[in-house]
Amino acid sequence: MPTMKGGKVMKILRIKDNNGYFRVSDSDQWRPIDEIDKDELMNLLDCFLNSDVEMDDIEEKSLSNQAQQIIYRSIFEKLNNLKENKSKFKDESERMYLSETQKYSQS
């Protein structure tokens, strides 16, 4: 999921009408947060690491569904924690695979 056209920031998590939603990979479709699966969570993480994204803050808006509140809060907090360490995480990941990348790019 790249940044939206025109360089705008893409929203990946939103709260609307007291319900939590996540953006479905490579589309403008939204699904309830309590329907997220492992693959969709990985797509959100990939988008988060490779694009400029934003998320509705759960502290500013409320969710009426308890399950959605727990799932949304967990994903939101984990992505926010990762945001604080995003450059460190990317640098470590690149360093970890640098030798393999160089090895195969010379072949």
> What are the pLDDT digits (tens) for 47-103?
888 888 999 998 888 899 999 999 999 999 999 888 777 777 777 777 787 777 777
Q: Could you give phi then psi for residue 27, rounded to 5 degrees?
A: -155, 175
pLDDT of residue 5: 46
Q: Is the pTM of this model over 0.85?
A: no
Q: In terms of residue numbers, what domain contains 12?
A: 5-105
Determine the average pLDDT of the residues in 34-39: 95
Asked if residues 14 and 62 have their Cβ atoms less than 8 Å apart, the reply is: no
* DSSP β-bridge partners for residue 11: 54
* Total domains present in the chain: 1
Sequence length of the chain is: 107
In whole angstroms, give the CA distance from residue 78 to residue 85. Answer: 11
Asked if residues 54 and 98 have their Cβ atoms less than 8 Å apart, the reply is: no
